[in-house]
Amino acid sequence: MRDAVDLITAHWEVERPDVDVSPMAVIGRITRLSRILEQDLKRFFAGHGLEFWEFDVLATLRRSGGDKGLTAGALNRAAMVTSGAITNRIDRLAAKNLVRRSPCADDRRSVYVQLTPEGRALVDHLLPLHVANEERLLSALTPTDRDHLAALLRTLSIGLDDTTLD
């Protein structure tokens, strides 16, 4: 069975046989799959009254913030967005009573962002549903295939210097 990227690379091989377009087979698929997966995840979270980025922020706090939470700066680095964007995101989640800000006792310039009980309950409710949805999205792959793909993508990620979120 062939996919859209096979067609694209086949056309290039006819039009420009002098150019090795094999990188397109990988990059094209990663790019196309990223869009497909993002659309599906957006649809999934919209069905639960959330934006995908909202769950991402809430899940980041749940898995790494503990009761203390994370500073806005640490959350900003974990979310990989601008400081203005994270401020806006925190404001929107606070308006929904899913997070709260607490002053840092050690540094008055810093603020901790914490899950509210409602935010924690929402993440805890959605996490198994989200994982089940991801399981569905990966159903074409065997567990061994997934392990191999994850290892290859990790190698590529490290090769592109995407090694830490701190």
Mean per-residue pLDDT for 47-73? 89
Nearest in space to 101 (alpha carbons), one of 112, 88, 85, 86: 112
Mean pLDDT of the chain, nearest integer: 91
The sign of the CA dihedral 158, 140, 130, 128 is negative
Residues in the chain: 166
What pLDDT, in 10s, does the model give residues 24-48? 999 999 999 999 999 999 999 999 9
Say if residue 101's pLDDT is above 50: yes
**C-alpha of 97 from chain center:** 22
Inter-residue contact 114 to 65 (CB < 8 Å): yes
Output the six-digit token pair for 12: 């290039």
pLDDT at residue 110 tops 60 = yes
| CA distances to 43, 58, 67, 76 from 120, in Å | 21, 8, 10, 19
What is the pLDDT at residue 80?
65
**Burial label, 64 (beta-carbon count in 10 A; 0-12, 13-18, 19+):** middle
